[in-house]
């Protein structure tokens, strides 16, 4: 069965890079532009995995993760953070908020697909 991946990033270029890599790997991809839009999209879909950036307008990735984890119906969805951030304090905060994994941009498509398959198993 095809897995559905929700990607959340305010960069159109990054969303398209993610779509291309994930489409090639056989995933169904849905996208959002920031955390607020991500919650809206999440309300109308059932992704198997969420990939989110940290630094975004309106609602950042950490706030998004906290909102998803507070929702009993969706708290178990794996969330991978994909960001330019490498600060250990932010990484720790994301883990405490409920992030399942952390990948630093630029990403290796094979490594990303491998991470998705691991957390969605």
Tokens of 69: 């984890």
Structural domains in the chain?
4-119 (3.40.50.2300)
CA 64 → CA 10, 59, 85, 98, distances in Å? 13, 6, 16, 10
What's the chain's average pLDDT? 94
> Model's pTM, two decimal places?
0.95
Where is 67: in which H helix or E strand? Answer: helix 61-70
Q: What is the C-alpha separation between 95 and 90, in angstroms, rounded?
A: 9
**12-63, pLDDT tens digit by residue?**
999 999 999 999 999 999 999 999 999 999 989 999 999 999 999 999 999 9
* pLDDT value at residue 109: 94
* pLDDT value at residue 27: 97
* pLDDT value at residue 86: 84
């Amino acid at each position: 069965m095809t897995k559905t991946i929700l990607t959340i990033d305010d960069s159109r270029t990054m969303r398209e890079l993610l779509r291309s890599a994930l489409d090639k790997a056989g995933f169904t991809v849905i996208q959002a532009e920031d955390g607020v839009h991500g919650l809206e999209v999440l309300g109308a879909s059932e992704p198997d995995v969420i990939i989110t950036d940290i630094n975004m307008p309106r609602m950042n990735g950490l706030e998004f993760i906290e909102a998803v984890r507070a929702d009993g119906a969706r708290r178990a969805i794996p969330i991978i953070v994909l960001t330019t951030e490498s600060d250990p304090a932010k990484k720790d905060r994301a883990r405490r908020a409920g992030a399942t994994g952390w990948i630093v941009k630029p990403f290796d498509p094979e490594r990303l697909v491998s991470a998705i398959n691991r957390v969605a198993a």
